[in-house]
Structure 1
């Protein structure tokens, strides 16, 4: 009888650990359920909108969690580039991430600012230029990740 009691406790413990592991890994940074649920039901976002959202709106404040991209943050935005963290920048009031495939061009970002042709830059160059400040860029954002960053 004690053998079956031990087995049942072991099985219960293994089941509990498996359920806990699944629960902890169920939500990742790619999940957008939280961002979609926080937007008003009647609101529609234009993907090519370049006008910034009013400062009191949920889209501008980023909702409850500032690390998540705000709802309706897709589009092309221009403004001053600000450094938040390595790979995470801000253009105007829009936060975005820089990925490996992000196309980054501009003489003030990397290279010679006097050169007329656009130079291809790395994410590290962009981080360094953002930390230095005073750089105006145009950023195309899709799902919170920059597809293209161009010096203005």
Structure 2
């Protein structure tokens, strides 16, 4: 077998392996709120005024943007849930509340970190109002 064929086969196998690894990576890293293809194929989407985006009955689609109020639940570091709606916490998420961090007597005055929010969620029984956009919390405020 010639050296040229061996190199061609090696390159082909390497390219196929890279393509397979890339497709697995992209599938695993797909954001939680990216169900656009599923919505397009099934036609399921919360109708305006259905309450799914504003914390009402989110059974139709719990991935809508909007504001949700309820008890905060810890899922994983930086991943929480409120009112059945999972969300991620970003570096620029505004987090405020005395029961989250600081003095419970002044709930609006305290700015908190994502780690403090995780700890408060683990302790349980914390009511918050969360503004979510594309699966990421823009704002978490103690309710």
What is the TM-score with the length of structure 1 in the denominator? 0.76
Aligned length: 137
| C-alpha distance in structure 1 between counterparts of 2:118 and 2:33, whole Å | 26
Residue 89 of structure 2, aligned match among 98, 110, 113: 98
Within-5 A mapping of 1:2-151: 2-27=2-27, 28-30=29-31, 35-39=35-39, 40-41=42-43, 43-46=45-48, 49-54=54-59, 57=60, 59-60=61-62, 70=63, 72=64, 74-115=65-106, 117-151=108-142
**Per the alignment, do residues 31 and 51 of structure 1 end up closer, same or farther by CA in structure 2, a change over 3 Å counting?**
closer
What is the TM-score with the length of structure 2 in the denominator? 0.80
**Per the alignment, do residues 130 and 26 of structure 1 end up closer, same or farther by CA in structure 2, a change over 3 Å counting?**
closer
Unaligned residue ranges in structure 2 (runs of 5+): none
Superposition RMSD in Å: 2.5
